[in-house]
Amino acid sequence: MPDDVFMASPEDIDPDSHIVGVYYVESGLGLWRAGVEIAKEESIGTWTELTTMTQRVVERLAAKVYKVDKEKRLVWIAYPLELFDLDCGGIPNLLSIVAGNLFGLSALENVRLIDLKIPREAARHFPGPKFGMEGVRGLVGSEMGVPHLGTIIKPKVGLSPRETAQVAYEAAIGGVDFVKDDETLTNQPFCPLEERLSHVMEKLDQVREETGRTVLYAVNITAQHEAMMELADRAIEQGANMLMVDVLTAGFSALQSLAEDPSIKLPIHVHRAMHAAITRNPRHGIHMLVLAKLVRLAGGDQLHTGTAAGKMEKEAAEVRKIDDFLRGEWNGLKTVFPVASGGIHPGIVEENIRLLGPDLVINAGGGIHGHPMGVRAGARAMRQAIEAAVKGIPVEEYAKTHEELRVALEKWGKKYA
C-alpha cells in the first residue's frame, strides 16, 4: 500500500472528526516516513500488501500523518473517529489505537505519545467527573484560590483500623481537609477496609462535632473489578464520603465503572501508582498529560500530577501544564482537582503553590506524621505554611509567631527531598 494513503495536509484534517496523537519520534527513517509506519500499524496497514484490503477501508479508516516538526522531532497523526469503539470499547480501545503496537516497532528507536487531542464528539461518550474541583470544594466548604491540605496515612501499611482512625483524627483536628489511604493499603487482614472505614468515619464525625469542619477520607477500594464494585457498595454503606482507586493498576475501565454507577454519589480520588514506568522516560512512553486527559474522561475528581518541589518529579513547567489542563475548560467536562504529593513538608509549600498555582491539593505524609511534636502539630505546621503562602508572608517570618511551623522548619528547612 503506498505511503501517501497515510499522509494528508493539515487543511484536509477536520479536528472535530479525528482524534489526534502527537508523538515525539526518533528514527532513522525520517519523521514523515516514521509517522507513516505508526499510522499504518495503528489503523489499517501491516508489513505487506493485503489481498483482503478494500477501497472503503482505505478511504474511511486510514490514519493520516499531517504535520511534522523536525526541530522538536514531533509527528501529528489524525485517527478518524470511525476507527474507535468509544461506547463499548472505551479507553481500552482508544489506547490500543493511539498507544498500541507502535512502541515496539523496530523502525522506531524511541517514540513517546506526548499529547492526545480529543474532540467533543468523542468526549461525549465518557462520563467525566461527577464533582470536579468545584464540587469537592463544595463538600468541604473551601474557597477557590486556597489550596486544600491533604495527608496520607503513614506508615503506608501496618496500622490497625483503630490506629489508622486515630492518625486521621489527629491530622483532621490539626487542619487537613482530606485524608487518604496509601496506594498499597486496600483490604489486607491487618487492616480490613470496612472496619478501617467505620473507625475513620467515626473519628471524622467527631471532628465535625468539635470543629464544624467536614474532612474527606479517600478509602482505597482498588481491587479486581467485581470485588472493587462490591467494596464500593460496602464503603457507601459504612458512610464513606470519598473513594480512591489506583487507576493504572486497576485500569481506566475500573475508574469509569465507578464514575458511571448511579448509586455511587461520591467523589473519586485517583492515584497514579505505576505511572513512571510509562511516563518517566522523556524519549519513550506516554506523557502524564495524556493520562490526565484519560482520567478526566473516565471520571476522576482528584488526580496526582506531581510536585514542583519534593521527592518526585521536579519539572515544574510540565506539572503546571497538566494542572492547568485539569483546572481549565475541556469539552464541557467538569474540572479535576490536581494533587501535589511526594516529599512535601512545610518548608517547600510556598514553592509548590508559587509554581503550580493555589487551586490544588497539597498532600503531605511524612511532612505531617514526621513532625517532632506529633501528627496534630504536623498538620498545623502545614496549614500555617499554606496560610503564609496565601498571605504572601515569607515562611520564616510566619514561623516566628507559629510554633508548629518553626519546629518543622528547624527539622526540614526549605530543602527539597
Q: How far apart are CA 383 and CA 148, in angstroms?
A: 9
CA angle 276, 105, 24 (to 5 degrees): 55
Any idea what DSSP says for residue 225?
H
What is the C-alpha separation between 60 and 81, in angstroms, rounded? 10
Q: Please say whether the beta carbons of 411 and 372 come within 8 A.
A: yes
* Residue owning grid cell 503553590: 353
Closest CA to 62 of 86, 85, 38: 38
Whether 18 is catalytic: no
Active site residue 271: yes
Q: Give the 3-state secondary structure of residue 238.
A: coil
Rounded Cα gap, residues 243 and 261, in angstroms:
13
Distance CA 178, CA 258 (A): 20
Q: Which of 130, 114, 97 is nearest to 255 (CA)?
A: 130
Residue 25 dihedral angles phi and psi, to the nearest 5°: -135, 135
End-to-end CA distance of the chain: 54
Tell me the three cell numbers of residue 283: 524519549
Which residue among 18, 40, 148, 154 is the active-site one? 154
Handedness of CA 398, 401, 407, 408 (dihedral sign): negative
Cell 492515584 belongs to: 271
- Residue 359: half-sphere exposure toward Cβ, Cα within 13 Å: 19
Instruction: Output the nine-digit C-alpha cell for 23.
Output: 508523538
Where would I find the H helices in 262-361? 276-279, 288-298, 316-327, 349-356
Dihedral of CA 333/337/340/342: which sign?
negative
Please tell me what DSSP assigns to residue 187.
S
Measured distance CA(339)–CA(325) in Å, rounded:
13
Locate all alpha helices (DSSP H) within 124-246, ordered by sequence.
132-140, 161-174, 193-211, 225-237
Catalytic one of 18, 271, 334, 371: 271
Enumerate the active-site residues.
154, 271
